């Protein structure tokens, strides 16, 4: 991590508060997979993965443990982590969009039922146009 700190510029997302928990997690993965990484590799992982919330990195790591990328059963490679994080984000966004669409569809069905049950509560475009004409007539007359 010292090498990373030396070459860091002001644009890096890596701070001590993000580096330590992430480094601890990555070292844990090394023990699980029984595969050590060099300080340079760890620095690269830290620099790249620190841009994501630790929870997303952990979720990607757990996913890759169960579903190894390209039948690779060793320590997940950095691109696999990043690809998995983005794929999981897209899945969450699609699920959110689907849920939102379902809610909107239900609101429209409810509104339609209400309009059928109580048409007096709703004004159509023709009625609005008629009201505007009447107001224009009143304004135009002294």
pTM: 0.66
The single-letter DSSP state of residue 19 is H
Q: What is the pLDDT of residues 12-27, one digit of tens each?
A: 455 666 789 999 999 9
pLDDT for res 32: 92
- Mean local confidence (pLDDT), 120-137: 83
State the Cα–Cα distance between residues 129 and 135, nearest whole angstrom. Answer: 10
The single-letter DSSP state of residue 72 is -
pLDDT for res 77: 93
The single-letter DSSP state of residue 67 is S
Q: What is the pLDDT of residues 58-111, one digit of tens each?
A: 999 999 999 998 888 889 999 999 999 999 999 999 999 999 999 999 999 998
Which SS3 state, helix, strand or coil, does residue 60 take? helix
């Amino acid at each position: 991590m010292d090498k990373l700190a030396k070459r860091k510029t002001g644009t890096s997302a890596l701070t001590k508060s993000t580096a330590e928990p992430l480094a601890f997690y990555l070292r844990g993965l090394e023990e699980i997979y029984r595969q050590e990484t060099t300080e340079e590799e760890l620095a690269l992982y830290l620099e790249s993965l620190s841009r994501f919330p630790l929870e997303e990195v952990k979720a990607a790591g757990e996913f890759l443990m169960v579903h190894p990328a390209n039948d690779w059963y060793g320590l997940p490679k950095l691109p696999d982590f990043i690809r998995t994080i983005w794929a999981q984000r897209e899945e969450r966004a699609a699920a959110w969009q689907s849920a939102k669409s379902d809610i909107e569809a239900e609101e429209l069905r409810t509104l339609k039922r209400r309009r059928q049950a109580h048409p007096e509560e709703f004004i159509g475009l023709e009625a609005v146009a008629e009201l505007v004409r009447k107001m224009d007539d009143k304004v135009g007359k002294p």
